[in-house]
Chain A
């Protein structure tokens, strides 16, 4: 199953993924209503992209009292049926990773729909820190998603790593 794969060591913390997500879903620029986020610890220099894990038996889906959330057959992404949602927040509470929140204006839950199989965050990520593919154990180096994206080695140089 293809999912969003994060390689934290490549993340520069730029939040372009969040901007791209909001642009794709709402046709405006912002970061607050993105369906993924980058958490940071600036003194330690840590940047951690947090994405939907596509849980096997997804608590968000099972917790919804209105049947507004379901899984897409092709992508396995969680899909919101807007007309069935009454903004009860059960899914927000249920997500074990804190990945769902209610949109501050529409009050609808923000869930990652994988953009129908072509995630905007992946297309935009400048370093390949987020990719879309099979689990890392199957494919340790996901193929470049973006034709002109450079080799990730530029972003990974550290002590003793002179490749």
Chain B
């Protein structure tokens, strides 16, 4: 099968069985790969209410058809399992070099089942699979583990996906890390891996990926390169990556300052991406074959943190350890991010639990004696740093925070539930949904819990009313503070995000820079796979994935009532001092109605209708044909 690794590898850690079978073309055409194929596998294989930490849960690594090609940033892969953090769909995506390596080894999916009786790591070298003892690695951080495994294998080019101590200690939002700094952060995929006693997966592939029409593929790539190099966002993305957003969101008043109590942050300049570039950036870094090297290698010259060097960070961890916790000390924030990477934790969830504790303290709900005597005043560097260590080790007060903000608030009570910033159990990202409303809606309906990467509806920043009319028939869609038409916007971008995650490409280029239309995506897929696929079919793949994810979380008990966000965003207007966003509020109900209507879902239950499922080939008992979905 052109443009695919060709095989699905299934590894059972309980009895050491490894089997592989050819990747099913029928499923590949219906779900592409990566996130889509992973979710399909999870849906087919697991019964409802599978305990995420039981041996029955499966952990799936999946790559898509554009991974490992010359597509600019065809480097992304997904890890999918039932989530121990939210109890629903767990799914996380990262770039780097692991995905392409897995594909060069010949695999489109790696499905890990069961539970080993002692810590092991997997060594996959093409078709040789080895379970290796990892008892000596247990208790070591992501960096140490990665380097130790590469040394042990005598192969510095082996790609390692590892977990740190946080996962071993059962922190529910622990991630899997590749290339030291690249996180599959959200929804606790590292915690699942630790429950399976799997410390790492190392992979080396010496194979290759044939495509159906190389000449045409390269021609499209050349065209794409020209689009990218002349794109208005190219320069700023290369210089700053996503950290450009610190200043941009400060300007518009959308930062999550002090746990969403203000949209602007007085120290925004000091902790901005520009400051990082000026003070610490050594060079640009990139994922596999990417022409927009948005990552940066930093050497932080600060006597308090000797030897601190790291890659990144992205905007999310940066804003999390600065604005969200009220900290204006950039080097300290970078130290926290580095620690989170080494311990192996999701920086979004981690910054939420810390900032939640600080707001609880501010409101007198939490006294210092309950928090190990820590001074929970906003921006207290010692406290922030201590909490990162304590959560990862589940020490003292950190133990309360290590299960995420929802469970922490349930245990603390006293009204702290009202200020737990989560949706479906997953912590809200680093922007105020009241100030960017399509993102607000996207967070409320996202299938893995409150998260922006399920949709990335950047279009609302465009301020181009004419384009809004052209695309969605509604001028307001182009403005972030308007709510009309956002249901249509979120639907569109959810489908784009699903396709990007399933092709294995970067959403920065595919969604935010919109380098390919549906038809151009189809053209590229034709050259890659040889299928006679159309733009319409690609779009339907996106819709199919979003619908299947909806079915999966509904099976776990999610209902219409769960498509919501914390009270603050829905009832309290943005406070004074939030710039142009002051006074704004999220009119979620109206947007939700519009969204369900656009989706063809029942507006009472928030579930796909039978007609919609039939249209997408998802009706029960139906075997997906994978060619043209039924449209009648």
Contact = CB atoms under 8 A, between A and B. Distances in A.
B177 to A, nearest CB: 12
Contact of B208 (A14, A30, A42): A30
A15 B277 contact: no
Contacts of A26: 208
Interface string A1-43: 0000000011111111001101100111111110000011011
B236 to A, nearest CB: 10
A14 B289 contact: yes
A33 B70 CA distance: 15
Contact of A149 (B97, B229, B277, B309): B229
Contacts of A32: 104, 205-208
B340 to A, nearest CB: 17
A15 B97 CA distance: 9
Contacts of A159: 279-282, 299, 301
Contacts of B180: 42-43
Interface residues of A, number: 41
A28 B235 contact: no
A56 interface: no
A35 to B, nearest CB: 14
Interface string B237-263: 011000000000000000000000000
Contacts of B295: 12
B124 to A, nearest CB: 15
Interface string B362-401: 0000000000000000000000000000000000000000
A150 B207 contact: no
B147 to A, nearest CB: 7
Contacts of B280: 159
Contacts of B286: 12-14, 126
A127 interface: yes
A12 B285 contact: yes
B385 to A, nearest CB: 22
A157 interface: yes
Nearest to A45: B297
A162 interface: yes
Nearest to A33: B208
Q: Which residue, of B210, B278, B286, has the highest number of chain A Cβ atoms within 10 A?
A: B286
A137 interface: no
B283 A150 contact: no
B311 A45 contact: yes
Q: How large is the interface on B (under 10, 10 to 19, 20 to 34, 35 or more residues)?
A: 35 or more
B211 interface: yes
Contacts of A43: 143, 147, 180, 309
A9 to B, nearest CB: 6
B243 to A, nearest CB: 13
Nearest to A41: B156
Q: Which residue, of B69, B208, B225, B295, has the highest number of chain A Cβ atoms within 10 A?
A: B208
Interface string B548-577: 000000000000000000000000000000
B508 interface: no
Interface in B257-310: 277-293, 295, 297, 299, 301, 309
Q: Which residue, of A20, A39, A43, has the highest number of chain B Cβ atoms within 10 A?
A: A43
Contacts of A126: 72, 286, 290-293
Given A12-B283, A32-B207, A45-B285, A19 B70 contact: yes
A155 B293 contact: yes
A158 B295 CA distance: 14
A158 B206 contact: no
Given A42-B180, A43-B147, A127 B207 contact: no
A154 B277 CA distance: 11
Interface in B188-238: 205-211, 214, 218, 225-226, 229-230, 234-235, 238
Contact of A150 (B146, B235, B289): B235
B74 to A, nearest CB: 9
A158 B282 contact: yes
A47 B297 CA distance: 11
Contacts of B143: 43
A44 to B, nearest CB: 7
Interface string A46-58: 0100000000000
Contacts of A42: 146, 179-180
Q: Which residue, of B205, B284, B286, B295, has the highest number of chain A Cβ atoms within 10 A?
A: B284
A30 B68 CA distance: 7
Contacts of A154: 235, 238-239, 284
Contacts of B226: 148
A19 B180 CA distance: 23
B65 to A, nearest CB: 11
Given A9-B283, A158-B283, A23 B218 contact: yes
Contact of B69 (A29, A33, A162): A29
24 contacts: A10-B283, A14-B288, A14-B289, A15-B97, A16-B289, A16-B290, A16-B291, A19-B69, A23-B218, A28-B209, A29-B68, A29-B209, A29-B211, A30-B207, A33-B208, A39-B156, A40-B156, A40-B157, A42-B146, A126-B293, A127-B284, A148-B230, A150-B229, A157-B281
The 7 A-B residue pairs whose C-beta atoms are closest, nearest first, are: A30-B208, A45-B297, A12-B286, A14-B286, A12-B293, A126-B291, A28-B208
Given A31-B100, A45-B283, 7 more contacts: A12-B284, A27-B214, A42-B179, A126-B290, A148-B229, A158-B282, A159-B279
Interface of B: 68-70, 72, 97, 100, 104, 143, 146-147, 156-157, 179-180, 205-211, 214, 218, 225-226, 229-230, 234-235, 238-239, 277-293, 295, 297, 299, 301, 309, 311
